[in-house]
Amino acid sequence: MSDHHSHDAIQQHVKKYLFVFYSLIVGTIVTVWASTWHIDSVALTVAIALVIACVKGFLVAR
């Protein structure tokens, strides 16, 4: 087997994918939790939604 298919390299990728998976689960929980907040400002609501979406998008792009 070549070096980039070694057991250690595969383990690193699995750890990375599991980290992203669990982080997205937490992000989904935060999204649902944030949807229960009553915020009068539409701009603040959009800003919070964009921050959550950007963090989750960053995790996927990582």
List strand residue ranges (DSSP E) for the chain, in order.
Answer: none
Instruction: Kindly report whether the global pTM for this prediction surpasses the value 0.75.
Output: yes
**The one-letter amino acid at 49:** A
Secondary structure letter of residue 26 according to DSSP: H
Q: What is the spatial distance between Cα 60 and Cα 62, in angstroms, rounded to a whole number?
A: 5
Which amino acid type is present at position 54?
Answer: C
Domain that holds residue 43: 3-61
Distance CA 21, CA 23 (A): 5
pLDDT band at 3 (very low <50, low <70, confident <90, very high): low
Structure-token pair, residue 27: 């992000």
What domain count does the chain have? 1
Q: Would you say residue 2 has pLDDT above 90? A: no
